[in-house]
Chain A
Amino acid sequence: MIEFLKQPWAWYVAGPLIGLTVPALLIIGNKSFGISSSLRHVCASCMPANIPFFKYDWKKEVWNLFFVFGIFLGGAIAINLLSNPNPVEVNPELATELAGYGITNFNNLVPQDIINWQSLFTLKGFLMMIVGGFLVGFGTRYAGGCTSGHAIMGLSNLQLPSLIATISFMIGGFIMANLILPFILSL
């Protein structure tokens, strides 16, 4: 059983499990699935700075912070107890492309060759980690949700705005990955 769990899980196992988070959260406490809002609650609790957008009673949304802390713990459990001993399998075409940028270590979920503490202070590392993170936080809030809130929860509830948002996420991702990221990686 444990051996089985240690292998990478197929999409048709993981996808439905992720989908079941939607009814699970609704049934255990009437909560709509969403993750990016946790970033806003952190702002509201730590640095509201009199900005109207952060002046609300964040304690009422504290469940969301418990949820994301759980995701952090889940990541730690999965890697320590259920870790797959083999390197992450990567599409050969992508592997060749990445090797051209000096990315050859596929042992981790993040590419250690470029995402590490040393490279944080290089231009490439700065763009990948700091600017990338900033765009994620700014964009998700501007869009009113992320992959979980819009693509999964919103589409589950047949919301047209969520479909528009999801299509925008994908267009943005395609443009970045294919047209802009190659320049960043070759820095």
Chain B
Amino acid sequence: MQQNTDTEKDLQLRELDAMCVNESHLQHKWYHNLKYLVVGVLFGIVFVKAEVVSWFRIQEMFRLQSFHMYGIIGSAVVVGMISVFLIKKFNIKTIYGEPIKISPKTFNKGQIYGGLIFGFGWAITGACPGPLFAQIGTGATVIAVTLLSAIAGTWVYGYLREKLPH
């Protein structure tokens, strides 16, 4: 029982300010994670080939000079919405037979304050977190510094979390 409450607490903590958290009761060997690596590789290729990771595309987007990024984000959302709708409607299970669970998000003011701060950073660096990894892969090694700085930013947020308005 003690163990159960511990697991529960751990999950609640991981769920704080995070979308992508899930408690699976299945135990897998580490190499099962390689399938996420494969999805990541495909995703990274799309990112670079569609120039989503291009600083110039992001500048065009925020200056309303190109439809490209709006088309990408918009069509990605439409495909994602249809997929989630179908998964829920037909109760589609994972490849391990587990029911698929998506935790809902609750509103807090951090989504506005943090969102604005992230928007500032996005327009300066021309990258959200995903493209940072892809940009380093394309040989822009100095972006590793930007990534480290982003990790530092995350750490400082964790440090100040209790004092920030939410």
Contact B50–A156 (Cβ < 8 Å): no
Question: CB-CB < 8 A to A141: which residues of B?
Answer: 17, 114, 153-154, 157-158
CA–CA, A27 and B25, complex, Å: 15
Residue among A26, A53, A132 making CB contact with B124, cutoff 8 Å: A132
Residue among A30, A43, A74 making CB contact with B47, cutoff 8 Å: A74
Chain A contributes a number of interface residues (CB within 8 A of B) equal to: 135
Contact A72–B153 (Cβ < 8 Å): no
Contact A64–B20 (Cβ < 8 Å): yes
- Closest B residue, CB atoms, query A61: B14
Contact A110–B20 (Cβ < 8 Å): no
Flag A74-85 by CB within 8 Å of B: 1 or 0 each.
111111001010
Contact A34–B125 (Cβ < 8 Å): no
Min CB distance B127 to A, Å, is: 7
Residue among A15, A39, A68, A180 making CB contact with B74, cutoff 8 Å: A15
Flag A156-175 by CB within 8 Å of B: 1 or 0 each.
11111110111111111111
CA–CA, A94 and B54, complex, Å: 14
Contact B158–A40 (Cβ < 8 Å): yes
Chain B contributes a number of interface residues (CB within 8 A of A) equal to: 128
| Most chain B CB within a 10 A radius of its CB, from A36, A141, A143, A172 | A141
Contact A133–B41 (Cβ < 8 Å): no
Question: CB-CB < 8 A to B151: which residues of A?
Answer: 39, 42-43, 137
CA–CA, A106 and B81, complex, Å: 35
Question: CB-CB < 8 A to A143: which residues of B?
Answer: 17, 110-115, 117-118
CA–CA, A71 and B62, complex, Å: 24
Contact A120–B155 (Cβ < 8 Å): no
Min CB distance A70 to B, Å, is: 2
CA–CA, A19 and B84, complex, Å: 10
Question: CB-CB < 8 A to B124: which residues of A?
Answer: 127-128, 131-132, 135, 176, 181, 184
Contact A178–B63 (Cβ < 8 Å): yes
Min CB distance B67 to A, Å, is: 7
CA–CA, A120 and B67, complex, Å: 31
CA–CA, A103 and B38, complex, Å: 35
| Most chain B CB within a 10 A radius of its CB, from A12, A64, A98, A115 | A115
Contact A142–B164 (Cβ < 8 Å): yes
Residue among A17, A19, A120, A149 making CB contact with B78, cutoff 8 Å: A19
Residue among A56, A90, A136 making CB contact with B56, cutoff 8 Å: A90
Flag B105-145 by CB within 8 Å of A: 1 or 0 each.
11110111111111111111111111011111111111101
Question: CB-CB < 8 A to B107: which residues of A?
Answer: 160-161, 164
Q: Other than A8-B50, A57-B14, A136-B125, give 13 A-B pairs with Cβ distance below 8 A.
A: A15-B71, A36-B129, A53-B13, A53-B161, A66-B33, A67-B40, A70-B43, A78-B47, A110-B55, A127-B124, A165-B111, A167-B115, A169-B119
**Can you give 26 contacting A-B residue pairs, CB < 8 Å?**
A11-B68, A16-B78, A16-B79, A18-B43, A21-B43, A27-B87, A27-B94, A36-B128, A43-B155, A70-B43, A71-B133, A74-B41, A74-B137, A94-B56, A109-B53, A132-B146, A136-B127, A138-B117, A140-B118, A141-B153, A144-B110, A154-B19, A155-B77, A172-B116, A176-B124, A178-B62
Closest 9 CB pairs between A and B?
Answer: A172-B119, A74-B44, A70-B40, A75-B137, A168-B115, A142-B114, A19-B79, A137-B153, A139-B118
